A = this chain, B = another copy of it.
Amino acid sequence: MTEPKSSNLTWHEGHVTRDEREARLNQRGVTVWLTGLSGSGKSTIAVAVEQVLLQQGNHAYVLDGDNVRHGLNSNLGFSPEDRTENIRRIGEVAKLFTDAGIIVLTSFISPYRADRDAVRKNLGDGDFIEVHVDASVETCESRDVKGLYKKARAGEIPEFTGVSAPYEAPEHPEIVLDTNTQSIGESVTELVGYLKGKGYLSA
């Protein structure tokens, strides 16, 4: 059904390849998966990195609770099965963005190792960068920007990660950002430097 056209529009048969999309954007698509406790700094780092990448002529996009929980995953709750399905769907969407040549930053607590490892396996080597945004419960609780820890301690939020539900830290993350001690700026610099060093960004 594909045919040459009398107009100046031409195309080859079949899909555009990922390589072609990446060449157009002059970058490599990748999923940067930020995991850590509530208040560890995941979202702040993700949106800052997105901005810096855009300024540098790259194209990035953040997936977080704001644009996923109320949309794609609005029909999921917080049972163990739903939490797993939540992360599975986010991983699949991240895979599509990665295939589209985009640098996608995901910002979710994603407390279970098995769920994250399934995403890693699905994306494959080089397409998945696990970033442990590592702050202790004490650090996060002392910030408590949204007042969630206070509510969790008062028993108003059941199964709150770090308080009444487990957080399984990554065993072999590509990057650890210790936000107990380092500033957001230092974390952003480290993460952007990693992407640049590994050849994901345009020259």
Beta-carbon contacts under 8 Å, A51-67 to B: 51-52, 54-55, 57, 59, 61-63, 66-67
Q: Does A24 contact B (CB under 8 A)?
A: yes
Closest chain-B Cβ to A22's Cβ sits at a distance in Å of: 11
Q: Does A14 contact B (CB under 8 A)?
A: yes
Q: Are A185 and B4 in contact (CB under 8 A)?
A: yes
Q: Are A72 and B93 in contact (CB under 8 A)?
A: yes
Given known pairs A25-B59, A93-B96, the reply for A15 and B72 (CB within 8 Å) is no
Q: How many copies does the complex hold?
A: 2
Instruction: Mark contacts of A1-39 with chain B using CB atoms, 8 A cut-off: 1 yes-contact digit, 0 otherwise.
Output: 111111101111011100011001100000000000000
Closest chain-B Cβ to A19's Cβ sits at a distance in Å of: 12
Q: Are A52 and B9 in contact (CB under 8 A)?
A: yes
Please, which residues of chain B bring their CB within 8 A of the CB of A52?
A: 9-11
Please, which residues of chain B bring their CB within 8 A of the CB of A63?
A: 96
Please, which residues of chain B bring their CB within 8 A of the CB of A188?
A: 5, 9, 11
Interface residue from B47, B143, B189 paired with A16 (Cβ < 8 Å): B47
Q: Are A9 and B189 in contact (CB under 8 A)?
A: yes
Q: Does A71 contact B (CB under 8 A)?
A: yes
Q: Are A12 and B51 in contact (CB under 8 A)?
A: yes
Please, which residues of chain B bring their CB within 8 A of the CB of A59?
A: 21, 24-25, 59, 100-101
Instruction: Mark contacts of A107-148 with chain B using CB atoms, 8 A cut-off: 1 yes-contact digit, 0 otherwise.
Output: 000000000000000100000000000000000000101000
Please, which residues of chain B bring their CB within 8 A of the CB of A170?
A: none
